[in-house]
């Protein structure tokens, strides 16, 4: 089959409407008679609510209605958790959409105002009088486990939300090992901050009982499923639309109280209601990411062979369990703590802890960045302990090409790979030997350069569904695709994936254009509408192309199959004698007699003369469940300089060598890597949510919370190798999260390399100038660099 568009840098088709300001984001929509909602949020991290007085707010100009927790509690379900890891002793705690008698984090919804315009709604918030009785608060997950710490939920008397263990017994290996290294790591809390804050617009038709909800979601069908239960609206009466969504990074997976409340008000008032989060609200009301304390131990030989690794983690869950929250520090983390290395024994033990903080859920990479950080950092600690170059150590321990499919100590089967190839390509691209020489030469001039590596693997492309069930995910992980060829041969392609910046309208178009031999401009890819797309599980976990693309390939093949039968009839030859190539059907050896798929489609729609038993029309749906996750991998290298006078870290070079299988659109792949790397570097050097002792979010705005900025970066260098995955028909692996997963430890390893002569082994992220400077000062006080 000729593949014209596969592998081509086709310009992103979605960008035209976006750059022309014609995107349809939720907040762009205006409906006749629409009202505006605003949410009063708790200013306390922990408090009893004695009384709420809405009388004066209710009298404010334009105010239609003010809702409190007690007014809605009988009419609405609680906000559910949709991931219950098996054997995790998960404590289901009730999460009411509006707090009734107690608030447990700053930002928790306390009251809802609906008014004629957004200014009136916000103004009325200032008139609601809430009588709080503040309670002691706790924001740190380790401290929260102390018996003297405040307790959040009766159902979780020790603040333990879950306790989960996985892996092999490693005690024997550790007690007999020549070398054991231990290190405690802090993986700080991050605030996602997509460009578009969250928003909901809901319309209810009281006559028909139909509700339409425009939402900022990564998974409209999951939202429909969950919200229908919470609201008591039959699923077939609820339509969720998420046409353009301005980024999510995991923060738009969860079903939020705000969305449910907006829907509730729309139904109650029988008027469309819109709610849109401000950036300040986003900081406290949208789920956060990471927030781990990790204790890591590695056992190995003096020659650099890793024998075992074990991890003990305290993961901050926030005040309530978010939709996918419990799966992130367990399933998506614990099962891959051995990383890309052939390690016989490994184990992970995780405490998920309730604290008086914003709930934690998936954030780009979700669990896998945390796991990768630990193994990549402890490898460097080990290398330094035994006096070996970290590259050499990695070379010894990386899983070898001939070991695939490779079963890791947790029973996870890595699909395919040539890990050493990406390492070699990285070393060659960088000229590693001369980099090391340069580093030594600079050191003699009291200048500090460091090189850091991350030879990562991750598991993504979430499905299959059987595994979803086994790991307690309360949903399927297959994907759907429908290809509808219209009489003129134009195609509408419907996918259950819900891209929100990843460019699948383009890549999916490329897949269909190639398989059906139809020009790209004749194909529209539709997503993010539960009435148009029958079912789907959405976009997260780098699954859309691996799983959604798989469904699409399957649907396309079925279209060809049907069209071939009709083409054979048109050509008056047996089906078996028809050849197909790039949209053309022809008798073997007679290409000049070819009929095109678009002509065949017209005949299928006319139905004047179809072969016996063939139904008219040309529409096919496919539901595809992959056989396993996909395992993209690669080598990332950061080269940094550290200014000893200011502690400032500068990224001098960044090289990403990734293998995500064949790239359908290399430009989009590169874009995903760029964005991912920048977010991962953000964690290493800049970002970090800070709560004070009272549970107040100190870093609650862009004045304090440092997002990575373009001026912090050199030109990113990217390279690829291609090892197809046998787990899906396209051979593709996810690439949406690899950059974030790989880059954080690469950068921290580089900084630690630069600081090695000061005897610094580890510093907590983000590696801010004062932190680095202080570490250097401490070393200087002890005699300075070695």
Partner 1 sequence: MIAAEIGYERAKTIEEALSLLSQDVDAKLLSGGHSLVPLMKLRLAQPSTLIDVSKIPELRTLDVESERITIGAGVRYFELLGDTRLEELMPVIAQATSVIADPQVRHRGTIGGAAVHADPTSDLAAVFLALEARFHIRSAAGRRIVPIEDWYLAPLTSALERDEMLVAVEFPRPIPRRQAYVKFSHPASGYALAGVAAIMDLTQHGLVQGAGIAVTGAATMPFRASTAEAWLQGRPLNAESVAMAAQVGADDGTYDADDGQYPAVYRKNLARVMLARALEKLAPQ
- Residue 19's Cβ-side half-sphere holds a number of Cα atoms within 13 Å equal to 6
Residue 645 in the binding site for partner 1 (CB under 8 A): yes
Residue from the set 712, 719, 726, 763 that interacts with partner 1 by CB under 8 A: 712
Binding to partner 1 in span 133-152, by CB under 8 A: none
Per-residue b or e along 141-155, where b marks 16 or more CB atoms closer than 10 Å to that residue's CB = beebbeeebbbbbee
Residue from the set 279, 302, 446, 532 that interacts with partner 1 by CB under 8 A: 279
Residue from the set 625, 648, 722, 764 that interacts with partner 1 by CB under 8 A: 648
- Closest separation in Å from C-beta 116 to partner 1: 14
Distance (Å, whole) CA 368 – CA 363: 10
Number of residues that bind partner 1 (CB under 8 A): 30
Residue from the set 470, 774, 778, 780 that interacts with partner 1 by CB under 8 A: 774
**CB distance 396 to 383 below 8 Å:** no
Name the segment binding partner 1 (CB under 8 A); options: 9-17, 243-251, 570-578, 706-714.
Answer: 706-714
- Paired tokens of 46: 């922990």
| Residue partners of 533: CB distance under 8 A and separation at least 6 | 221, 480, 482, 494, 495, 496, 526, 527
Distance (Å, whole) CA 393 – CA 141: 33
- Closest separation in Å from C-beta 752 to partner 1: 20
Q: Is 424 exposed, middle or buried (0-12, 13-18, 19+ CB in 10 A)?
A: middle
By C-alpha distance, which of 165, 12, 139 is closest to 86?
Answer: 165
Residue 11 in the binding site for partner 1 (CB under 8 A): no
By C-alpha distance, which of 394, 386, 385, 474 is closest to 427?
Answer: 394
Q: Which is nearer to partner 1, 344 or 763 (CB)?
A: 763
Check whether the bond before 766 is cis (ω within 30° of 0).
Answer: yes
From residue 397 to residue 416, what is the string marking binding to partner 1 with x (rule CB under 8 A)? Answer: --------------------
Q: Which is nearer to partner 1, 699 or 740 (CB)?
A: 699
**CB distance 597 to 532 below 8 Å:** no
Residue from the set 7, 62, 118, 729 that interacts with partner 1 by CB under 8 A: 118
From residue 529 to residue 568, what is the string marking binding to partner 1 with x (rule CB under 8 A)? Answer: ----------------------------------------
Residue 769 in the binding site for partner 1 (CB under 8 A): yes
Q: Which is nearer to partner 1, 345 or 683 (CB)?
A: 683
At residue 238, the 3 state secondary structure works out as strand
Helix (H) or strand (E) holding 57: helix 55-58
Distance (Å, whole) CA 202 – CA 215: 8
- Closest separation in Å from C-beta 170 to partner 1: 38
Name the segment binding partner 1 (CB under 8 A); options: 218-226, 230-238, 541-549, 641-649.
Answer: 641-649
Helix (H) or strand (E) holding 415: none
Residue 686 in the binding site for partner 1 (CB under 8 A): yes
Name the segment binding partner 1 (CB under 8 A); options: 117-125, 235-243, 309-317, 370-378.
Answer: 117-125
- Paired tokens of 554: 């399957």
Residue from the set 690, 760, 761, 763 that interacts with partner 1 by CB under 8 A: 690
Name the segment binding partner 1 (CB under 8 A); options: 449-457, 487-495, 507-515, 643-651.
Answer: 643-651
At residue 694, the 3 state secondary structure works out as coil
Sheet hosting strand 345-354, strand order edge to edge: 160-167, 345-354, 306-318, 289-300, 179-190
Q: Which is nearer to partner 1, 11 or 698 (CB)?
A: 698
From residue 718 to residue 757, what is the string marking binding to partner 1 with x (rule CB under 8 A)? Answer: ----------------------------------------
Residue from the set 24, 89, 646, 778 that interacts with partner 1 by CB under 8 A: 646
Q: Report in angstroms the alpha-carbon separations of 326 from 290, 296, 668, 741.
A: 12, 21, 31, 19
Q: Which is nearer to partner 1, 410 or 773 (CB)?
A: 773
Residue from the set 16, 55, 614, 698 that interacts with partner 1 by CB under 8 A: 698
Q: Is the dihedral of CA 691, 695, 696, 700 positive or negative?
A: positive
Residue 502 in the binding site for partner 1 (CB under 8 A): no
- Closest separation in Å from C-beta 649 to partner 1: 11
Q: Which is nearer to partner 1, 622 or 681 (CB)?
A: 681
Backbone angles phi, psi at 679, to 5 degrees: -65, -40
Looking up tokens 């406290």 gives 284
Name the segment binding partner 1 (CB under 8 A); options: 444-452, 699-707, 741-749, 754-762.
Answer: 699-707
Residue 703 in the binding site for partner 1 (CB under 8 A): yes
Residue from the set 357, 672, 768, 779 that interacts with partner 1 by CB under 8 A: 768
Q: Which is nearer to partner 1, 330 or 768 (CB)?
A: 768
Residue from the set 119, 131, 155, 470 that interacts with partner 1 by CB under 8 A: 119
At residue 448, the 3 state secondary structure works out as strand
Distance (Å, whole) CA 465 – CA 485: 29
Residue from the set 278, 301, 407, 590 that interacts with partner 1 by CB under 8 A: 278
Residue from the set 174, 410, 713, 773 that interacts with partner 1 by CB under 8 A: 773
Residue 35 forms beta bridges with which residues? 273
- Closest separation in Å from C-beta 279 to partner 1: 7
Residue 122 in the binding site for partner 1 (CB under 8 A): yes
Name the segment binding partner 1 (CB under 8 A); options: 169-177, 231-239, 703-711, 727-735.
Answer: 703-711
- Closest separation in Å from C-beta 686 to partner 1: 5
- Closest separation in Å from C-beta 764 to partner 1: 12
Q: Which is nearer to partner 1, 55 or 698 (CB)?
A: 698
Name the segment binding partner 1 (CB under 8 A); options: 277-285, 316-324, 487-495, 614-622.
Answer: 277-285
At residue 679, the 3 state secondary structure works out as helix
Distance (Å, whole) CA 251 – CA 654: 27
Residue from the set 33, 234, 770, 784 that interacts with partner 1 by CB under 8 A: 770
Helix (H) or strand (E) holding 552: helix 549-571
By C-alpha distance, which of 645, 526, 546, 28 is closest to 276?
Answer: 28
Residue from the set 50, 232, 704, 780 that interacts with partner 1 by CB under 8 A: 704
Binding to partner 1 in span 296-325, by CB under 8 A: none
At residue 304, the 3 state secondary structure works out as coil
- Closest separation in Å from C-beta 283 to partner 1: 11
The β-bridge relationship of strands 479-485 and 413-414 is: unpaired
**CB distance 336 to 412 below 8 Å:** yes
Helix (H) or strand (E) holding 475: none
Size of the chain in residues: 786
Residue 705 in the binding site for partner 1 (CB under 8 A): yes
CA dihedral 14, 16, 21, 25 (to 10 degrees): -10
By C-alpha distance, which of 576, 189, 198 is closest to 361?
Answer: 189
Residue from the set 108, 123, 258, 415 that interacts with partner 1 by CB under 8 A: 123
Name the segment binding partner 1 (CB under 8 A); options: 177-185, 583-591, 719-727, 763-771.
Answer: 763-771
Q: Which residues are at the interface with partner 1 (CB under 8 A)?
A: 118-119, 122-123, 126, 278-281, 645-648, 685-686, 690, 698, 702-707, 709, 712, 768-770, 773-774
């Amino acid at each position: 089959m000729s593949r014209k568009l596969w592998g081509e840098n086709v310009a992103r088709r979605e960008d035209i409407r976006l750059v022309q300001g014609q995107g349809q984001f939720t907040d762009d929509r205006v409906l006749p008679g629409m009202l505006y909602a605003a949410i009063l949020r708790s200013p306390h991290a922990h408090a009893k609510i004695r009384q709420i007085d809405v009388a004066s707010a209710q009298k404010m100009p334009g105010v239609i209605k003010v809702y409190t927790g007690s007014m809605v509690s009988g009419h609405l379900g609680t906000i559910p958790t949709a991931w219950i890891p098996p054997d995790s002793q998960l404590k289901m705690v009730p999460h009411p959409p509006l707090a009734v008698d107690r608030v447990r984090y700053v930002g928790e919804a306390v009251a809802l105002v609906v008014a004629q315009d957004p200014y009136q709604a916000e103004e009325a918030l200032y008139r609601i009088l809430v009588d709080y009785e503040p309670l002691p608060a706790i924001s740190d997950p380790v401290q929260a486990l102390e018996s003297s710490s405040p307790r959040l939920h009766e159902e979780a008397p020790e603040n333990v939300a879950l306790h989960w263990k996985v892996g092999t017994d490693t005690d024997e290996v550790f007690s007999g090992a020549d070398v054991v290294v231990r290190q405690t790591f802090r993986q700080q809390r991050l605030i996602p901050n997509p460009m578009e804050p969250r928003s909901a617009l809901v319309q209810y038709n009281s006559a028909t009982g139909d509700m339409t909800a425009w939402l900022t979601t990564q998974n409209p069908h999951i939202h429909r499923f969950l919200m229908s239960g919470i609201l008591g609206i039959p699923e077939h009466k609820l339509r969720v639309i998420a046409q353009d969504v301005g980024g999510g990074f995991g923060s738009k997976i969860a079903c939020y109280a705000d969305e449910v409340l907006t829907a509730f008000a729309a139904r109650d008032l029988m008027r469309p209601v819109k709610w849109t989060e401000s950036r300040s609200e986003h900081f406290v009301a949208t789920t956060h990411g990471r927030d781990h304390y990790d204790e890591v131990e590695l056992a190995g030989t003096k020659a650099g062979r890793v024998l075992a690794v074990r991890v003990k983690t305290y993961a901050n869950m926030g005040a309530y369990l978010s939709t996918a929250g419990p799966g992130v520090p367990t399933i998506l983390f614990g099962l891959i703590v051995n990383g890309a290395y052939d390690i016989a024994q490994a184990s992970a033990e995780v405490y998920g802890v309730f604290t008086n903080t914003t709930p934690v859920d998936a954030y780009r990479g979700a669990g896998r960045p945390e796991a990768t950080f630990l193994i990549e950092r402890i490898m460097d600690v080990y290398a330094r302990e035994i006096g070996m170059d970290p590259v050499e150590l990695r070379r010894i321990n990386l899983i070898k090409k001939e070991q695939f499919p490779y079963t890791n100590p947790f029973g996870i089967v890595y699909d395919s790979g040539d890990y050493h190839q990406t390492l070699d390509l990285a070393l060659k691209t960088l000229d590693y030997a001369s980099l090391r020489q340069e580093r030594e030469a600079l050191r003699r001039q009291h200048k500090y350069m460091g090189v850091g590596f991350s030879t990562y693997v991750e598991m993504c492309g979430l499905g299959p569904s059987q595994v979803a069930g086994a790991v307690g995910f309360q949903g399927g992980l297959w994907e759907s695709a429908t290809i509808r060829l219209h009489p003129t041969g134009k195609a509408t392609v419907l996918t259950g994936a819900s891209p929100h910046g990843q460019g699948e309208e383009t890549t999916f178009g490329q897949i269909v254009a190639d398989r059906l031999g139809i020009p790209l401009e004749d194909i529209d890819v539709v997503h993010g509408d539960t009435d148009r797309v029958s079912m789907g599980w959405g976009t997260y976990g780098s699954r859309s192309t691996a799983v959604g693309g798989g469904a699409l390939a399957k649907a396309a093949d079925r279209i060809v199959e049907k069209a071939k039968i009709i083409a054979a009839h048109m050509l008056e030859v047996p089906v078996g004698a028809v050849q197909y190539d790039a949209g053309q059907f022809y008798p073997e050896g007679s290409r000049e007699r070819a009929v095109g798929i678009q002509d065949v489609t017209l005949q299928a729609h006319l139905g004047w003369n179809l072969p016996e038993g063939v139904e008219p029309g040309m529409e096919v749906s496919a539901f595809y469940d992959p056989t396993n996750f996909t395992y993209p991998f690669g080598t990332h290298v950061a080269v940094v300089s550290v200014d000893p006078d200011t502690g400032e870290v500068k990224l001098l070079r960044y090289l990403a060598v990734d293998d995500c299988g064949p790239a359908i659109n290399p430009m989009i792949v590169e874009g995903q890597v760029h964005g991912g790397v920048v977010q991962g570097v953000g964690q290493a050097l800049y970002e970090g949510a800070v709560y004070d002792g009272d549970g107040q979010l100190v870093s609650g705005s862009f004045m304090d919370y440092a997002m990575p900025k373009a001026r912090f970066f050199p030109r990113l260098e990217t390279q690829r190798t291609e090892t197809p995955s046998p787990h899906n028909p396209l051979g593709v692996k996810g690439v949406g999260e690899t950059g974030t997963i790989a880059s954080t430890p690469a950068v921290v390893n580089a900084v630690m390399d630069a600081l090695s002569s000061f005897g610094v082994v580890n510093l907590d992220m983000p590696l801010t100038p004062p932190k680095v400077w202080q570490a250097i000062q401490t070393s200087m006080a002890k005699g300075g660099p070695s």
